[in-house]
């Protein structure tokens, strides 16, 4: 009899980015008409704009969304792990990031080499966060590199994630001009 293994475990998101958790909030992510599910492929050209993210919960609940690339600059040598692609706080339940406070603006996938994983991790906040109180390492502020989702959650008392999803992306071939 086969067993179901969590795709976040198989993809290494649990272990490398976050610890094992039980999802408790719905999070639906789409790039245009392409629905994001764990391990799917998203072309960088499809993800130049932020995804449409719908979060469950009540409007009185506030959430933080973190998007990172744990494979930067290359999956075999992720020395910039994790590269921060998007950080939004104070997202009311039942809405999406556009309703929250963007701390780090969205940057789409641009993998230089290999197949990269891009993670979107959702945390439920215990209280409203101030954008001025968000602490990021200096290198993260300057280059988006060396972010750590676990440390960020600990520093801001976010607890365990309530939802997460990841997708894969790789460099698209250059189009030839005729």
Residues 55-101 pLDDT 10s: 999 999 999 999 999 999 999 999 889 999 999 999 999 999 999 99
The C-alpha atoms of residue 71 and residue 91 are separated, in whole angstroms, by 27
Q: Please give the class, per CATH, of domain 7-170.
A: alpha beta
pLDDT, average across residues 2-28:
89
* Count of residues in the chain: 178
Residue 94, SS3 per DSSP: coil
- Decide if 85 contacts 109 (C-beta within 8 A): yes
What pLDDT sits at residue 1? 46
Residues 125-176 pLDDT 10s: 999 999 998 988 888 888 999 999 999 999 999 999 999 999 999 988 876 5
2 or 159, higher pLDDT: 159
Predicted TM-score of the model (pTM)? 0.93
């Amino acid at each position: 009899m086969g067993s179901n293994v969590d795709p976040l475990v198989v993809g290494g998101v649990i272990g490398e980015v976050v610890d094992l958790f039980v999802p408790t909030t719905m999070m639906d992510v789409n790039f245009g008409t392409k629905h994001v599910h764990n391990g799917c492929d998203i072309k960088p050209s499809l993800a130049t704009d932020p995804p449409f993210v719908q979060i469950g919960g009540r409007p009185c609940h506030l959430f933080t969304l973190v998007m990172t690339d744990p494979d930067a600059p290359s999956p075999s040598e992720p020395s910039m792990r994790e590269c921060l692609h998007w950080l939004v706080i104070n997202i009311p339940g039942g809405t999406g990031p556009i309703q929250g406070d963007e701390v780090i603006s969205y940057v789409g996938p641009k993998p230089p080499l290999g197949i990269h994983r891009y993670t979107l991790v959702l945390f439920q906040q215990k209280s409203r966060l101030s954008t001025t109180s968000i602490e990021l390492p200096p290198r993260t502020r300057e280059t988006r590199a060396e972010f750590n989702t676990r440390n960020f959650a600990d520093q801001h008392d976010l607890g365990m994630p309530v939802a997460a999803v990841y997708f894969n992306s790789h460099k698209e071939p250059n189009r030839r001009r005729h």
